[in-house]
Chain A
Amino acid sequence: MPSLNDLQIRIKSVQSTRKITKAKQMVAAAKLRKAEEAANAARPYAERMERVLANLAAGVSSASAPKLLAGTGSDQVHLLVIATAERGLCGGFNSSIVRKAREEIIRLQGDGKQVKILTVGKKGREQLKRLYGELMIDHISLAGIKSVGFENAQEISDMILGLFKEGGFDVCTLFFGKFKNVMTQIPTAQQVIPAKAPEGVEVRDLDGAIYTYEPDEEAILESLLPRFIGVQVFKALLENQASEQAASMAAMDNATRNAGDMIDKLQLQFNRARQAKITTELIEIIAGAESV
């Protein structure tokens, strides 16, 4: 049976924990709103880019298509780009992305493929280092970046494209947490190289008119594809950012509620113990008075 003093100390400690989780929850809520706004602001660019690419890809024969679109003709070496958060305290967000990536690694290795890993964000790197440290080729840190900008995405896509040019891999897949809504974030694997022409995008009908291309179709496609990959990375980073904050908010909300329950329970225990002590003292006094 803990003493009154012990109980009081525990209540105080849980109360201050609750204060911290509550504050973290509110910070995450504010950041989530900003992250969602950023994701929404980026949408028109990505959507138009997809439409332009779908239009172009439909018109270019597969024989003359650039390697980024058609692939290298092999799928022996896979590059997995695993994007996670820089910070913890966001529930199962990082682990679920890592789990998804790990399943993929096991599947690819089972098929006898070679796997290379590029991590973005500290948490994913920490979780994968022990098992797959020797597969990691590089790491990109997003620490100290308040809100991801297009330059950050470009840095990553430049690195991917550089590797591709050197023949470092055949297929590149991007792992990130897709933001569905505040309650649900889906760990997602998206293939970026060879680029898949977006599906479900309407190929624009020009009523019989045809596009004039300057300089020509292939030149445009060639300069568009690297940008398209940059956009996809950017979109993934933004989704990741929103998902992280949403997961963090949910986790902190849970923690705050648990702390509240714990305080209630401890308070009850404390009151009982205090009452028991008073009763014992009273009995002693009465017994003493009677014996006189």
Chain B
Amino acid sequence: MAKLMFHLVSPASEFFSGEVDQVNIPGADGDFGVLANHTPLMTSVDSGVLVVINGSDEQRIYVSGGFAEITADGLTVLAEFALPEAELKGEALAHAKERAETSLKLADTPAAIIAAQRAVDALAAY
């Protein structure tokens, strides 16, 4: 099966870079999976868990606020915040929750309120 070139970039660093089989993205219009040779697409990414599948290996990464861009070269996700799901606990979790709640308070358009509410909900499960 053809491999998909995938980059996950956050402001602090290049979080992930490499060839994978499939990436599931929490898109603004719902979750979707990306395989190799996907049609060019640009979408905003909501807060949630992004799943990177490579063979039998599965990585779950929590991302919040960003964009996904799919071109012939592969998939690039720009996330304002990215953290492996396993590390999402204690202080980091509290911090993420706080951020989500602040953005809910600041949200003023219906779309922004929905996105912020979804972020709060996504974190409530932890």
Residues of A contacting B41 in the complex (Cβ-Cβ under 8 angstroms)? 211-214
B7 contact set on A, CB distance < 8 A = 44, 48
Contact with A along B26-38 (1 / 0, CB 8 A): 0111000000000
* A161: min CB distance to chain B, Å: 9
A198 to chain B minimum Cβ distance, whole angstroms, is: 15
A227 to B39, CA, bound (A): 25
* Contact of B12 with A150 in the complex, beta carbons under 8 Å: yes
B112: chain A residues within 8 A (beta carbon): 223
A 39-54 binary contact with B (CB < 8 Å = 1; else 0): 0011011101100100
**A104 at interface (Cβ–Cβ under 8 A)?**
no
Q: In the complex, which residues of chain A have a beta carbon less than 8 angstroms from the beta carbon of B44?
A: 214-215, 219-220, 223-224
Instruction: Report if A210 contacts B (CB, 8 A).
Output: yes
Provide the residues of chain A in CB contact with B67, threshold 8 Å: 52, 220, 224
Known: A42-B12, A204-B71. A211 touches B80 (CB 8 A): no
B 88-113 to A, binary, CB cutoff 8 A, 1 in contact else 0: 00000000000000000010000110
**Range of interface residues on chain A?**
20 to 34
Cα A44 to Cα B12 with chains together (Å): 9
Docked Cα-Cα span, A210 to B27, in Å, equals 19
List CB contacts (< 8 Å) of A1-53 with chain B: 38, 41-42, 44-46, 48-49, 52
How does the 8 Å CB contact mask read for A113-154 relative to B, with 1 for contact and 0 for none? 000000000000000000000000000000000000110011
B40 at the A/B interface (Cβ < 8 Å)? yes
Decide if B28 touches A227 in the complex (CB within 8 Å). no
Q: How far is the CA of A35 from the CA of B39 in the complex (A)?
A: 39
Supposing A211-B40, A213-B43, A220-B67 touch, asked if A158 and B106 sit within 8 A by C-beta, the answer is yes
* Chain A residue at minimum C-beta to C-beta distance from B14: A44
A231 contacts chain B at the CB level, 8 A cutoff: yes
Q: Out of B14, B69, B80, name the residue touching A41 (CB < 8 Å).
A: B14
Contacts of A150 in B (CB 8 A): 10-12, 80-81
Interface membership of A209, Cβ < 8 A: yes
The number of inter-chain residue pairs (CB within 8 angstroms) is: 86
CB neighbours (8 Å) of A52 from chain B are: 42, 67, 69, 78
Chain B CB within 8 A of A207 CB:
yes
Q: Does A234 contact B (CB under 8 A)?
A: yes
How many whole Å from A250's CB to the nearest CB in chain B?
28
The answer, yes or no, to whether A206 is at the interface (CB within 8 Å) is: yes
A214 closest partner in B (C-beta): B43
A44 to B10, CA, bound (A): 9
B56 at the interface (CB under 8 A from A): no
Asked if B111 and A219 sit within 8 Å, CB to CB, the answer is: yes
Instruction: From the candidates B12, B13, B43, name the one contacting A220 in the complex (CB within 8 A).
Output: B43
A-facing residues in B49-71 (Cβ within 8 Å)? 65-67, 69, 71
Expressed in whole angstroms, the Cα–Cα distance for A206 and B69 within the complex equals 12
Residues of B within 8 A of A158 (CB): 106
**Given A44-B9, A49-B78, A223-B112, 12 other A-B residues pairs in contact with their CB atoms under 8 A:** A42-B12, A45-B10, A52-B67, A52-B69, A150-B12, A150-B80, A211-B40, A212-B41, A213-B43, A215-B28, A219-B44, A220-B42
The 18 listed contacts between A and B (C-beta, < 8 Å) are A42-B12, A42-B13, A44-B7, A44-B14, A46-B11, A48-B69, A149-B12, A150-B10, A206-B72, A209-B40, A211-B42, A214-B28, A214-B44, A215-B28, A215-B43, A219-B111, A220-B42, A220-B43
A positions within 8 Å CB-CB of B: 38, 41-42, 44-46, 48-49, 52, 55-56, 149-150, 153-154, 158, 204, 206-207, 209-215, 219-220, 223-224, 227, 230-231, 234
